[in-house]
Amino acid sequence: MFQKIMTGPIGQRFLRDVKKAGRSIFVWTINDEDTMKWSIRKQVDGVITDDPKMFLDVCKKYRGEKPRLKWRELGMMVLTEGLALPVSLFLRWQRGSKIDDKEIRGLLGKASKR
């Protein structure tokens, strides 16, 4: 998942639902210390970063402190939430709120055969 989407209320709910379903969540692109701390705090299962050494250093030093969002990150969160909300509402209206695992696996199977 694009990490910026995960910071707002919709992303928080999605993250909670993914964890509740026993699924893994990976976020990208995590290249600054505050976002790395956010990822550790939210216990995501993996990160994609251009600086793995920095991420390991942040993991070693992290003591549970809450990361501070910068104004730019807050603006990006508002923008992504503003875009994600109408799209998610449209998709729920079109497809319903339930996700059929068998249907998803079937679609993935068809895509992998191409």
Count the domains in the chain.
1
pTM for this prediction:
0.63
Please write the tens of the pLDDT for every residue from 75-92: 777 777 777 778 777 877
Please write the tens of the pLDDT for every residue from 35-78: 899 899 999 999 999 999 999 999 999 998 877 777 777 777 77
Task: Please report where in the chains the tokens 């942040």 appear, as a residue.
Answer: 58
Domain, as residue range, for 66:
3-112
Check pLDDT > 60 for residue 114: no
Neighbouring CB atoms inside 10 A of 47's CB total: 20
